[in-house]
């Protein structure tokens, strides 16, 4: 992952939290082609032992889903 050390570090921390038994909800936003899917693929590759639900969308739908997941945590 070129030029994404900071983002990868955040994802590594998030994964460590989940492995400690905490739920986490990640909202990854950015312009088309900026590398969102590449970052998610990085996370999924590291996290084969962890259950991940992925959803793609824009605006209100994703905010609604994220808030439901947080409420459920």
Q: Which is nearer to Mg ion, 3 or 33 (CB)?
A: 33
Q: How far apart are the first and last CA of the chain?
A: 30
- Options 3, 20, 58, 73; binder of ligand ATP; rule CB under 6 A: 3
DSSP H helices, the chain, are 5-19, 36-46, 60-72
Q: Which is nearer to ligand ATP, 2 or 51 (CB)?
A: 2
Nearest-angstrom CA–CA distance, 73 and 71: 6
Helix axes 5-19, 36-46, angle to 10 degrees: 40
Q: Which is nearer to ligand ATP, 49 or 58 (CB)?
A: 58
Question: Is 10 a binder of ligand ATP (CB under 6 A)?
Answer: no
Identify which range of 11-19, 34-42, 45-53, 64-72 contacts ligand ATP by CB under 6 A. 34-42
């Amino acid at each position: 992952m070129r030029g994404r050390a900071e983002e990868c570090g955040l994802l590594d921390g998030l994964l460590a939290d989940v492995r400690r038994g905490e739920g986490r909800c990640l909202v990854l936003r950015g312009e088309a082609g900026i590398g969102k899917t590449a970052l998610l693929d990085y996370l999924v590759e590291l996290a084969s032992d962890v259950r991940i639900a992925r959803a793609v969308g824009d605006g209100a739908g994703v905010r609604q889903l994220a808030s439901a997941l947080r409420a459920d945590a």
